[in-house]
Structure 1
Amino acid sequence: MALKARLREYFHTDYEPGEKQLVRKIDFFILTFCCLSYFTNYLDRSNINNAYVSGMKEELHFVGNELNQIQAAFTAGYVVGQVPANLSLHYVRPRIFFPVCMVVWAGLTMVTASVHNAPSIAAIRFFQGMAEATTFVGTHYILGSWYTERELGKRSGIFTASGLAGTMIGGYIQTGIQSSLHMRHGLSGWRWLFIIDGLITLPIAIYGFVFFPDTPATTKAFYLTPSEKALAVSRVPPVADRAPWSWSFLRRTLTSRFFWGFMVLWIIAGETESFSSNALLALYMKSHPTHKYSIPQLNNYPTGVPAAGIVSTLFWATLTDFLNGKRYLVGYFIGITGVVTSALILAAEKYPDATASTPMVFGAYYWAGAVYACQATFFAWANDTLRYEEHMFRAVVLAGMNLGSNVINAWWTIVFYGASMAPWFTRGMWAMIAVSIALVIWTAGLSYFTAHHEQTRKAEMNAEMHQDKSDENLA
């Protein structure tokens, strides 16, 4: 009966008058734009892997780890843009900033269709990384600005799943382009992929210019009534909104346990996604010791990895909302997943010609896709913890998490998952086991610290309430 009551409470939230309609409106206008934006973000970002296995490697004469160097160039631009992009949201309305960035990365994606060597792609991807820098962390900042703690996990999960859908559908798009547009007007199928992905992005940017509502305190959305705007402001804690460019702000940020605690959490967790983000299954298939896969197979089979990520993300985001924000539980799940999947691939490496080794590797990579669940839950965890902090401090912590992760990932990819290490990536398997164990340990420590902080904050709030009542009685 207790579980039934919890489920009823979870799925039938009591709203204030007008609040349910407000949530429906912001769900539609915020989530549609953010999810479509992130979908095209990952579509434009992951297409380099689809292009690589669909003829780009041979046509541009890639050698060694040039693919990884291109990915590192993108990561470098992504890192450079992280904190400045999120701080810019204090000065430029998100309704303007997000769509402008989309137009820039859409143009750069289409320009990639004209390249003739790997260094040209690397230069383009660096600036594309800068343009895409705010999409992920900026959206998490926006979600944390509009939604309550009980609503946030599901929305973060839906947003993250949209990016995974972009990765998954990108493979099918390349397969369709390869069969219908390859050598149309003299362009290879992989070149058409960049053109079409860029064109898909532009209408969504226009939609954002018109409909995105900014933040509750600054919104001028025509579809929100004055009472709904006031209600939106009242739903989130009132916190200071001071300009971030000051030495005191910088000092406070760099000495904050929250900043370093969540940054290190995402540095470790980000590297558990390496199986999926570096397209290791596609590279395994491309360099398979005994079997030759067709281009459609190279594009279609790896889509099971982000598919597993979508299911896992939505499951854990919803479950941790139901469990009153116990986001840290995902860290333990990911730790177990990372150790087991890496061990399976290491075992398969010893018997590369065995009938069972290939299905075991496929199964391990598909299961490893479930670690994508940490994106939604860990950023929701940071948003939950920093709900009572000033807005720009929360924005910088979120950006710092992604910055730290990508600084490490810029060289981690080359050292542990270089394309020349295919098909087994033995060094990377051992690295995955190490970071998975580290994630469990760090998650345990951070969850203790954030729980203690929450208890202290509630005690202080109760003391302030009692003091206010005492003052009223004396008056």
Structure 2
Amino acid sequence: MASRLKTYFRGEQTAPGERKLLLKLDTFILTFCCLMYFLNYLDRSNLSNAYVSGMKEELAFHGNQLNQINTVFTVGYTIGQVPCNIALYYIKPRFFFPACMVVWAGLTMATAGAQSPGSIMAIRFFQAIFEASTFVGTHYILGSWYTERELGKRSGIFTASGLAGTMIGGFIQTGIHSSMDGLHGLSGWRWLFIIDGLITLPVAIYGFFLFPDTPKNTKAPYLSAEEKALAISRVPEVNQKTPISRAFLKHCFSTWYWYFFTILWIIAGETESFSSNGLLSLYMKSHPTKKYAISQLNNYPTGVPAVGIVSTLFWATLTDFMGGQRSLVGYWIAITGIVTSSLILAFPNSTSVHFGAYYWAGSVYACQATFFAWANDVLRYEDDSLRAVIIASMNMGSNAINAWWSIVFYGANFAPGFTRGMWAMIAVSIAMAIWCTLIVRMQVRTEEQREIEGAVAANVEKEHYSGIQGDGSADRKV
């Protein structure tokens, strides 16, 4: 076991120069994508941080307006999913990613000048369209460069960087509120958005000059010709079909991949509802007996993404080590959702139970890395464009449902108990376990069919080669 672990963490590279190539890929792909996702999530999570740090009172929020803004963001994010991944098929990622970052950085800074919930709503809609490129685009890129045994760890590190943005956002807001609130006549929450936008720009410049695009079109100066050839040889050669054609759409919707993986992420997206809707913050803000300070409202919920980071890295590494058994995460999420919801329902007046349940629920963030790695694994031998569209469709489907799901089940007016949302969580958790089982069966059947087709093709080639040799022998005898 010790030798297996050592081999796993050091890698199983056998081709000359492969370890050096991986080091370069990790240095330039992972650093840029992780920084991009960190800032992406920092921008998103800081709306909730600003809300509990004075924005609610200053802009006179009422009712479900915060949820409505989040819903509008989700709508924009949903609209941007597939177009952004298709754009990566035509525009080099080192141009596309930084351009999107510059736009969303500008919109983030514009939020600092908002004078009403409606103006924030408009800004967040367009911001979401450009931020949609980050998550699904990165998973497409990771699947283009890394092998099945390498993908889970990298997906986990990438996902963890976004959770780090959520976690650190609370501490940043606390520091800004205590040191900059009122500076030059601006509230602390306004300075938060200005600083978020400014720190995004250097990362965009870094990506423009050093991101390596994809193996077949990379012109990265730090990759030699031999390393570029090696990168291409490491992943299966697949057909290249344009994603904008009737034939492609017919092919896409005729496969089981699109339906099963899109529904998988729709279910998984809703199992993240406790964390993605900031229920712990809302619970604290609406606590019936306790009054929490602004620093507590910002800092205490950071434990949720901290649990998410540990869970994400653990499950991504474990499923890689176990040969890609990504379904294990689905069963863990099902257990987590059922137990945490049941605890909150059973102990509605226990603050410690609520805190413990919401922290534990942070572990479901592990599904982000493992489920997109699962899709990349299964689609590794399919058309490259099909993989790009299905990965985007997964996130699009999830956000399309979440646009109304969060209001129906987790609206701020349902705080602090969110009873309706607890029952919804139990339902989707049960659905998660069932759906993962169905995908495993479909995956096994597909792999068996691929092996049969491969064996048949090999036999045909062997017979053809034998026939050519036989003809040659006969000629020589004559």
Give the TM-score, by structure 1 length: 0.97
Instruction: Determine the C-alpha separation between the residues in 2 that align with 1:18 and 1:464.
Output: 32
Any stretches of 5+ residues in structure 2 without a counterpart? 469-478
State the one-letter code of the partner of 1:114.
G
SS at match of 1:90: helix
**Pick aligned residue for 1:359 from 352, 355, 358:** 352
Among 428, 436, 439, the alignment partner of 1:443 is: 436
* Letter aligned with residue 4 of structure 2: R
The residue that corresponds to 1:371 in the other structure is: 364
The C-alpha deviation readout for 1:206-241, integer Å capped at 9, x for no partner, is 000000000000000000000100110000000111
1:172 offset after TM fit, Å?
0.3
| Residue 461 (structure 2) pairs with residue 461 (structure 1) | no
* Superposition deviation, residue 368 in structure 1: 0.1
Is this contact kept in 1: 2:53–2:189, CA < 8 A?
A: yes
- Equivalent residue, structure 2, for 1:56: 55
Give 1:10's aligned residue: 8
**Structure 2 partner of 1:128:** 127
2:409 aligned with 1:410: no
How far 1:5 moved relative to its partner?
4.5
Distance 2:347 2:283 in 1: 12
Matches within 5 A, 1:240-279: 240-279=239-278
Q: Percent identity?
A: 67
Counterpart Cα distance in 2 of 1:243 and 1:137: 18
CA distance in 1, matches of 2:179, 2:132: 33
Opposite residue 245 of structure 2, the aligned amino acid is S
Paired amino acid for 2:370? T
Counterpart of 2:422 in structure 1 is 429
| 1:320-350 per-position Cα deviation (integer Å, ceiling 9, x unaligned) | 000100001100000000000111111221x
Partner of 1:238: helix, strand, or coil? coil
- Matched to 2:356, the amino acid is G
* Paired letter, 1:192: W
The one-letter code sitting in structure 1 at the alignment partner of 2:85 is N
Distance 2:353 2:56 in 1: 27
Mapped partners of 2:450, 2:199: distance in 1: 46
Q: Which ranges of 4 or more aligned residues in structure 1 deviate by more than 6 Å? A: none
Following superposition, the deviation at residue 466 of structure 1 comes to 2.9
Could you tell me how far 1:256 is from its partner in structure 2? 2.0
Structure 2 letter corresponding to 1:462? A
Pair 1:102 & 2:95 matched: no
Match of 2:391 among 358, 380, 398: 398
* CA deviation string 1:109-132 (max 9, x = no partner): 000000010010000000011001
Q: Give the number of equivalent residue pairs.
A: 467
User: Is residue 20 from structure 1 mapped to residue 19 from structure 2 by the alignment?
Assistant: yes
- Given that 2:241 and 2:248 are in contact with CA atoms closer than 8 Å, whether structure 1 keeps it comes out as no
Supply the distance in 2 between the matched residues of 1:400 and 1:182 (Cα, whole angstroms). 41
CA-based RMSD of the aligned residues comes to: 0.9
1:387 counterpart residue number: 380
In 1: Cα distance, 2:254 partner to 2:66 partner: 37
Task: Name the CA distance, whole Å, in 2 between partners of 1:462 and 1:181.
Answer: 68
Q: CA deviation at 1:459?
A: 2.3
Deviation at 1:250, TM superposition (A): 1.0
Matched, 1:69 2:68: yes
Q: Which has more radius of gyration?
A: 2
Separation in 2, partners of 1:185, 1:474: 86
Partner of 2:81: 82
1:175 aligns with 2:158: no
CA deviations over 1:244-293 (Å, ceiling 9, x no partner): 11101111112221001000000000000000011000000000111000
Aligned partner of 2:347 in structure 1 is 348
* CA distance in structure 2 between the aligned counterparts of 1:256 and 1:242, rounded to whole angstroms: 15
TM-score, length of structure 2 as denominator length: 0.97
Q: Are 2:42 and 2:165, in contact at CA under 8 Å, matched by a contact in 1?
A: yes
Residues in 2 aligned to 1:407 and 1:243: alpha-carbon distance in whole angstroms? 25
Please tell me the residue identity of whatever aligns with 2:432: L
Cα distance, 1:438 vs structure 2: 0.5
CA distance in 1, matches of 2:315, 2:408: 31
Task: For residue 90 of structure 2, give the secondary structure of its aligned residue in structure 1.
Answer: coil
The residue that corresponds to 2:194 in the other structure is 195
* Greater CA drift, 442-451 or 264-273: 442-451
Corresponding position of 2:472:
none
Matched with 1:470 is 463
Which residue pairs with 2:153 in the alignment? 154
Q: Which residue of 1 aligns with 2:471?
A: none
Match of 1:291 in 2: 290
- The secondary structure found in structure 2 opposite 1:74 is helix
Q: How many Å separate the matches in 2 of 1:79 and 1:276? A: 19
Distance 1:314 1:374 in 2: 11
CA contact (8 A) 2:272 2:365 kept: yes
- For 1:214, the equivalent position in structure 2 comes to 213
